[in-house]
């Protein structure tokens, strides 16, 4: 059975990482157009670096939860018949044991040099003066995050997997942002069974064959146990 799982911020919520569109979410307090677009970065790189530096630093204080660990168990069992795609830029899937995570929106712990185009693993703060360890140019590193208006990563791989999967499961995502929000329809058109696991109905709930609502740390391990028992 070929399974594709898409996760969003909701899977990391119980680890203490804020979601974006819940009442206490990041975009409820700050304007994404001033922090998460190429134009915002060009206009005020120090402001944008500060926003991502704070989120990168927070990763040191949070831990993966039972939902992350359950998906790692599923990967171990299904191997190449399993693809984990995440919209999240945290490292909690990896720290929960997942080995192959498709970060379609990039990663907080990676910097991207706009001079030499290399991507560098990065745990510290970034600033407008930071030098690239590869080419030495200063002030040319940006967070390796896919901003609004930019093309998500590894889309060919993702679309190929959606076209051939038997089941597609979306976990902890509001269905507010494309192309991820359209994955359920691509999978359904390819004949896959579709399931939403979320705290509450998302914007796309009616597009799914089935849905279970509750906290990810409860409903995701239960779902994984069902799949492993098949």
Taking CB under 5 A as the criterion, the residue among 84, 132, 186, 219 binding Zn ion is 132
Neighbours of 165 (CB within 10 A): 25
- Burial label for 219, CB within 10 Å (0-12, 13-18, 19+), is buried
Q: Which residues lie closer than 8 Å to 80 by C-beta, 6 or more apart?
A: none
Distance, CA of 64 to CA of 82 (rounded, Å):
20
The minimum distance between CB 94 and Zn ion, in angstroms, equals 25
Scanning 24-32, 109-117, 177-185, 201-209 for contacts with Zn ion by CB under 5 A, the matching segment is: 109-117
Taking CB under 5 A as the criterion, the residue among 58, 115, 205, 217 binding Zn ion is 115
Please, which residue, 132 or 197, has the CB nearer to ligand APR? Answer: 197
Does residue 113 bind Zn ion (CB under 5 A)? Answer: yes
Please, which residue, 37 or 115, has the CB nearer to Zn ion? Answer: 115
- β-partners of residue 171 are 7, 197
Please, which residue, 69 or 130, has the CB nearer to ligand APR? Answer: 69
Distance, CA of 207 to CA of 224 (rounded, Å):
22
The residue number whose beta carbon is nearest to ligand APR equals: 10
Active-site residue set? 105
Please, which residue, 67 or 141, has the CB nearer to ligand APR? Answer: 67
- β-partners of residue 143 are 111
Taking CB under 5 A as the criterion, the residue among 58, 134, 205, 217 binding Zn ion is 134
Neighbours of 189 (CB within 10 A): 10
Backbone conformation region of residue 106, classed left if phi is above 0, alpha if psi is from -120 to 50, else beta: left
Scanning 7-15, 112-120, 180-188, 202-210 for contacts with Zn ion by CB under 5 A, the matching segment is: 112-120
Sites of contact with Zn ion (CB under 5 A): 113, 115-116, 132, 134-135
């Amino acid at each position: 059975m070929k399974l594709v799982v898409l996760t969003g911020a909701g899977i990391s919520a119980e680890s203490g990482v804020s979601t974006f569109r819940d009442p206490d979410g990041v975009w409820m307090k700050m304007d994404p157009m001033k922090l998460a677009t190429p134009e915002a970065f060009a206009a005020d790189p120090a402001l944008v670096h500060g926003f991502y530096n704070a989120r990168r630093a927070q990763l040191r204080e949070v831990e993966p939860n039972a939902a992350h660990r359950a998906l790692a168990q599923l990967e171990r069992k299904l191997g190449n018949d399993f693809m984990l795609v995440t919209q999240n830029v945290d490292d909690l899937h990896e720290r929960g044991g997942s080995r192959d995570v498709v970060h379609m929106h990039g990663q907080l712990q990676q910097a991207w040099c706009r001079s030499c185009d290399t991507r560098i693993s990065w745990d510290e703060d970034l600033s407008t003066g930071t030098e690239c360890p590869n080419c030495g140019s200063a002030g040319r590193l940006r967070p390796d995050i896919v901003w609004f208006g930019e093309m998500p990563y590894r889309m060919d791989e993702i679309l190929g997997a959606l076209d051939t999967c038997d089941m597609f499961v979306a976990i902890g995502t509001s269905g507010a942002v494309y192309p991820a929000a359209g994955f359920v329809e691509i999978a359904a058109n390819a004949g896959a069974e579709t399931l939403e696991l979320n705290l509450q109905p998302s914007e796309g709930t009616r597009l799914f064959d089935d849905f279970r609502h509750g906290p990810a740390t409860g409903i995701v391990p239960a779902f994984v146990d069902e799949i492993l028992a098949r």
